[in-house]
Amino acid sequence: MEESQHQLFHSHRLATVGRLAAGAAHEINNPLTIISLNIQILNRLLRKFFDEEPEIAKRLQVIAEQEERISKIIQDLMGYARPTQPKFCPSNIGEIMAKILAVLDDRVSMQDISVVNNIPATTPMVMVDPLQIEQVFMNLLINANHALPNGGTIGLDTGVENGFIEIKVSDNGTGISRENLPKIFDPFFTTKKEGEGTGLGLAICHSIVEHNGGAMRVKSESNVGTTFTVLLPIDRTSRLKAMKERLDNVTAVGTPQKPKENCRILVIDDERFITDMLKETLSTVGYETDAAYDGVEGIGQLRFKKYHLVLLDIRMPGKDGLEVLKFVREEFPETKVIIITGLASREEIQETVKHGAYACLKKPFLLEKVLETVNAALEHVCDLGVKAGNGT
Ligand SMILES: Nc1ncnc2c1ncn2[C@@H]1O[C@H](COP(=O)(O)OP(=O)(O)O)[C@@H](O)[C@H]1O
Ligand SMILES: [Mg+2]
Domain segments of the chain: what residues? 2-81, 89-237, 264-384
> Please, are residues 181 and 218 in contact by the beta-carbon 8 Å criterion?
yes
Angstrom distance (rounded) from CA 342 to CA 320: 13
pLDDT of 51 higher than 90: no
Give residues with Cβ within 8 angstroms of 314, minimum separation 6.
Answer: 320, 321, 322, 339, 341, 344, 348, 352
Q: Sheet harboring 225-233: ordered strands across?
A: 113-117, 152-161, 164-171, 225-233, 215-221
Q: How close is the Cα of 192 to the center of ligand 2, in Å?
A: 9
Query: What was the pLDDT predicted at 238?
Result: 39
pLDDT confidence band for 205 (50 / 70 / 90): very high
Mean pLDDT of the region 62-70: 87
Mean pLDDT of the region 200-210: 89
CATH number attached to the domain at 89-237: 3.30.565.10
Query: What is residue 287's DSSP assignment?
Result: -
Strands 359-362 vs 336-341: parallel, antiparallel or unpaired: parallel
CA 117 to chain centre: 27
pLDDT confidence band for 196 (50 / 70 / 90): confident
pLDDT confidence band for 307 (50 / 70 / 90): very high
pLDDT of 237 higher than 60: no
Query: What was the pLDDT predicted at 224?
Result: 96
Residue 367, CA distances (Å) to 3, 64, 285, 371 in order = 51, 14, 11, 6
Mutate to test the pocket of ligand 1, among 140, 143, 174 (most ligand atoms within 8 A of CB): 143
pLDDT confidence band for 197 (50 / 70 / 90): confident
pLDDT confidence band for 352 (50 / 70 / 90): confident
Q: How close is the Cα of 263 to the center of ligand 1, in Å?
A: 51
Of ligand 1's listed atoms, the one at least distance from the Cα of 139 is 18
Q: Which fold has domain 264-384?
A: Rossmann fold (3.40.50)
Highest mean pLDDT among 68-77, 177-186, 249-258, 377-386: 177-186
pLDDT of 391 higher than 50: no
Query: What was the pLDDT predicted at 15?
Result: 63
Q: How close is the Cα of 144 to the center of ligand 2, in Å?
A: 9
Mean pLDDT of the region 44-59: 81
Of ligand 1's listed atoms, the one at least distance from the Cα of 187 is 17
The phi, psi pair for 321, rounded to 5°, reads -60, -35
Mean pLDDT of the region 304-311: 95
Q: For residue 123, give the nearest of 228, 235, 208 by alpha carbon.
A: 235
- The DSSP code sequence of 138-192 is HHHHHHHHHT-TT-EEEEEEEEEETTEEEEEEEE-SS---TTTGGGTTSTT---S
pLDDT of 252 higher than 90: no
Mutate to test the pocket of ligand 1, among 137, 174, 184 (most ligand atoms within 8 A of CB): 184
Residue type at position 10: H
Query: What was the pLDDT predicted at 49?
Result: 80
User: CATH second-level architecture of 2-81?
Assistant: Orthogonal Bundle (1.10)
Q: Which residue has the higher pLDDT, 102 or 308?
A: 308
Q: How close is the Cα of 143 to the center of ligand 2, in Å?
A: 5
Of ligand 1's listed atoms, the one at least distance from the Cα of 189 is 14
Query: What was the pLDDT predicted at 389?
Result: 40
Instruction: Give the percent of the chain with pLDDT over 70.
Output: 83
Average predicted confidence (pLDDT) for the chain: 82
**What is the per-residue pLDDT across 208-231, written as a single tens digit (0 to 9) for each?**
898 888 899 999 999 999 999 999
pLDDT confidence band for 330 (50 / 70 / 90): very high
Q: How close is the Cα of 9 to the center of ligand 2, in Å?
A: 26
Q: Which residue has the higher pLDDT, 327 or 16?
A: 327
pLDDT confidence band for 24 (50 / 70 / 90): confident
pLDDT confidence band for 169 (50 / 70 / 90): very high
Residue with CA nearest ligand 1 atom 8:
143
Whether 2-81 and 89-237 share one fold: the answer is no
Query: What was the pLDDT predicted at 55?
Result: 84
Mean pLDDT of the region 359-370: 83
Mutate to test the pocket of ligand 1, among 113, 168, 202, 227 (most ligand atoms within 8 A of CB): 202
Q: Which residue has the higher pLDDT, 249 or 268?
A: 268
